Amino acid sequence: MQENPLAPEGLWLPLVTPFREGQLDETSLRRLVRHYAEQPIDGLILAATTGEGLSLDEEEVERLVFVVAETLAAAGRPLPLLLGLSGSDTRKVAKGLARSTAWPLDGYLVTCPSYTRPSQEGMIGHFSTLADAAARPVMIYNIPYRTGVNLGNAAMLELAAHPNIVGVKDCSADMAQSFELLRRKPPGFAVLTGEDAFFHPMLAQGADGAILASAHVETCRFAAVWARMRAGDAAGALAAWHAICDLPRLLFAEPSPAPLKHWLWRAGLIDSPELRLPMLPASDGLAVRIEAEMDRCQALPAPAAW
């Protein structure tokens, strides 16, 4: 294990993966990365849920990482990059860690094992084994409504003591569990919410930031919520949140990232809203709602300086 100063905080994007005619769309990918290199974000997650990582083959994941890293370097914006990894076999996930050792990454976002529904002790063993093996820091991704298993706070806090586990993307969707974790988390262990609709309340309770699919759009407004909260401007943070608080509901009205890809396509940031089966594009009815919201957001005054 190599020493790595990664201390995740602020606003991170779980970057979408653009496709065109069934292939990784590198042209759109480079355009996206150049765009977000100019936005007030603090890091990128690649090939995770929003990035349709489960639909990518090994070669595509590698190419994705290198294209993003190269584009950021050319833009002069050295954002930290985390790679999303998932799997129910600890050995196979460890092979993914080993395969990516030489890639230009800063860490990993590792999902709780899905489908098998291991015990709390089994998940402690899973993450401890992977953190021992990883050459870079590991963040845990707890999202029980996708995996079928919830990593409870007792197990989470035990894992937080591991020197190579630096935080969690918290999608427990249980506010009581999340707030308890925020109260009990040790120094140096970051809790970033991945529940877009809980962004403001989680920051108000002391979260270290967020990993938000919704922040692909109106990025400056999402960043303003974080910046004002961090500056102690509670009223300003709440006002900034009220301007965008309906966006997560719209962008998750159908399976993500279909609504988000439609928005990005209509905004000219990607050349196609294409997804891979079994995911489908946004429905016609939702597309109309998205385009109306795009018009509404465009008419809003620019967020105040912060």
Catalytic residue list: 141, 169
3-state SS record for 97-138: HHHCCCCCCCEEEEECCCCCCCCHHHHHHHHHHHHHHCCCCE
Q: How far is CA 183 from the centre of its chain?
A: 23
The DSSP call for residue 255 is S
Considering all CA atoms of the chain, what is the largest pairwise distance in Å, rounded to the nearest integer?
52
CB atoms within 10 A of CB 193: 26
Using CA atoms, how far apart are residues 63 and 207, in angstroms rounded to an integer? 33
50 is in an annotated binding site: yes
Task: Determine the 3-state secondary structure of 86 from DSSP.
Answer: coil
Those residues whose C-beta lies under 8 Å from the C-beta of residue 147, and which sit 6 or more positions away, are 111, 112, 113, 114, 115
Residue 154 CA: distances (Å) to CA of 105, 159, 163, 260: 29, 9, 17, 35
Those residues whose C-beta lies under 8 Å from the C-beta of residue 290, and which sit 6 or more positions away, are 250, 259, 262, 263, 266, 282
111 is in an annotated binding site: no
Using CA atoms, how far apart are residues 126 and 135, in angstroms rounded to an integer? 16
Binding residues for pyruvate, by number, are 50, 211
